C-alpha cells in the first residue's frame, strides 16, 4: 500500500538481527504492511536498549543469538527501561528452554523464522493489543520438556567454561573457589546426562537453557 494510504499512526517496530541480509529483507517486507513502520534496525544485542530509548518503538522484534548481548537478556532490560515496548522474539532456534526464558524475561511473543511474513505482521499487531503469541508446536514442546534443571550458578560456570578455561580461570572470573567451580561443573554434567563439561555445555545450549 502506498505511503499516503497508511493509517495516521503506524506500529513502530525496532528490528534486531545480526545477519544484514535477513535484517534488510525483514525490514523491507514489514515495511510493505500498511500499518507497520520499521523505525530502527540494529545488528548487535547491546545496541537494542539505546535504540529503543531513542526511537520509542511499540514493538521490539529480537533475534536471540546476537553479538554483545542476547535477545533474551535485552528483553529483560527493555522490560525495565522501556516498559511500553512489547517484545517479540523471532529466532531460528525453536528450543523449549529459550521459550521459557523469553517468557520469564517479559517477552510477549515467540516465533520461529520459517513462518510467512504475514503471520509475523499479525503477531506484531496482536502483541500490541496485549496478547501473548507463541508458536503452538513450541509451546507444546516447552510444556512437555519442563523447566531447566540447572541453577543460575551452574549456568554461569558452564558459560564461563566455553572458551576452554580451566577451573582456576573460571574461579577467578566468577570470584569463586576452584572446588566450588568443580562442584558446579560436576552437577551440571550430572543434570545434563553427559560425560564432561564440553558435552554438558553443548546439551545445555541445545535445550536452550543457556
**And the C-alpha cell for 139?**
509451546
Give yes or no for residue 199 having a pLDDT over 80: yes
124 has a pLDDT exceeding 70: yes
The pLDDT assigned to 7 comes to 56
Looking up cell 578455561 gives 165
71 forms beta bridges with none
Name residues whose C-beta falls within 8 Å of residue 142's C-beta, 6 or more positions apart in sequence: 96, 97, 99, 100
Of the segments 13-27, 111-125, 146-160, which one has the largest average pLDDT value?
Answer: 13-27
Q: Would you place residue 9 in the very low, low, confident or very high pLDDT band (cuts 50, 70, 90)?
A: confident
Q: Provide φ and ψ at 59, rounded to 5°.
A: -135, 135
What pLDDT does 40 receive? Answer: 96
Do residues 137 and 96 touch, judged by C-beta distance below 8 A?
Answer: no
pLDDT at res. 140: 55
For residue 46, pLDDT beyond 90: yes
pTM over 0.75? The answer is: no
The average pLDDT across 63-88 equals: 93
Cell of 30: 514489514
Residue at grid coordinates 566455553: 162
Amino acid at each position: 500500500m502506498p505511503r499516503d494510504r497508511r493509517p495516521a499512526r503506524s506500529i513502530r517496530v525496532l528490528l534486531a538481527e545480526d545477519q544484514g541480509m535477513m535484517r534488510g529483507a525483514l525490514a523491507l517486507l514489514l515495511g510493505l504492511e500498511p500499518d507497520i513502520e520499521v523505525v530502527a534496525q540494529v545488528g548487535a544485542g547491546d545496541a537494542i536498549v539505546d535504540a529503543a530509548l531513542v526511537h520509542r518503538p511499540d514493538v521490539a522484534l529480537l533475534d536471540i543469538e546476537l553479538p554483545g548481548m542476547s535477545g533474551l537478556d535485552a528483553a529483560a532490560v527493555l522490560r525495565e527501561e522501556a516498559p511500553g515496548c512489547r517484545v517479540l522474539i523471532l529466532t531460528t532456534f525453536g528450543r523449549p528452554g529459550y521459550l521459557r526464558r523469553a517468557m520469564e524475561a517479559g517477552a510477549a511473543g515467540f516465533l520461529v523464522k520459517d513462518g510467512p511474513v504475514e503471520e509475523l505482521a499479525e503477531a506484531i499487531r496482536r502483541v500490541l493489543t496485549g496478547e501473548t503469541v507463541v508458536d503452538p508446536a513450541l509451546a507444546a514442546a516447552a510444556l512437555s520438556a519442563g523447566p531447566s534443571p540447572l541453577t543460575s550458578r551452574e549456568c554461569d560456570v558452564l558459560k564461563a567454561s566455553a572458551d576452554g578455561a580451566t577451573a582456576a580461570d573460571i574461579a577467578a572470573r566468577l570470584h569463586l573457589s576452584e572446588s566450588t567451580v568443580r562442584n558446579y561443573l560436576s552437577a551440571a554434567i550430572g543434570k545434563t546426562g553427559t560425560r564432561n563439561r564440553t558435552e554438558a555445555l553443548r546439551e545445555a545450549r541445545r535445550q536452550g537453557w543457556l
